[in-house]
Amino acid sequence: MNKITSTNTNSWTLLIARLALGITILPHGAQKLLGMFGGYGFTGTMGFLTGMKHLPYIIALLVILIEFFGSLMLIFGTLTRVAALGFIVLFTGVVITSHFQNGFFMNWAGTQKGEGFEYFIMLAGLALVVLIGGGGKASVDAIITNKPTST
């Protein structure tokens, strides 16, 4: 019996990386899509992203969907590399459109106009680890890839 080995099915490191990223971003996605945690929900977020940030409708929609459903995909380890790639693209876009002009550092002291991009380097780094390595231990991807295939 052949096995497909497209993910590191026993990696605790990848499990930790994908859970850290998914759990960190899920509340942000829930704010944008569902209005939880003080967020504005889908309609409010779409209005902000298309009106104030001048993003095209499809890009604004993708931001919301990637943050919410991409986080769930990472938490469960389903299509992990697809979700990780989505986050890398998302974080790159966020830095370019909203944070690069504020410099590297986060605004801990409240002395800058806005937040820097250091946080997004960490998030993109986690996403890159997951993109390269796959879902790791306890992922749907690992369950699927460990199924014997017919020859």
Mean pLDDT, 10 residues at a time, the chain of 151 residues: 56 95 98 97 97 96 98 97 97 91 84 87 96 93 71 46
| pLDDT of amino acid 147 | 61
The 10 Å Cβ neighbour count of residue 70 is 26
| pLDDT of amino acid 98 | 86
Q: What's the full length of the chain, in residues?
A: 151
With beta carbons less than 8 A apart as the criterion, state whether 60 and 97 touch.
Answer: no
| pLDDT of amino acid 149 | 46
What whole-number distance in Å separates Cα of residue 95 and Cα of residue 125?
14
| pLDDT of amino acid 75 | 98
With H, G, I as helix, E, B as strand and everything else as coil, classify residue 115.
coil
With H, G, I as helix, E, B as strand and everything else as coil, classify residue 2.
strand
Q: C-alpha distances in angstroms, 149 versus 87, 143, 145?
A: 31, 13, 9
| pLDDT of amino acid 7 | 65
| pLDDT of amino acid 143 | 87
| pLDDT of amino acid 151 | 46
Burial tier of 39 (Cβ tally within 10 Å: 0-12, 13-18, 19+): middle
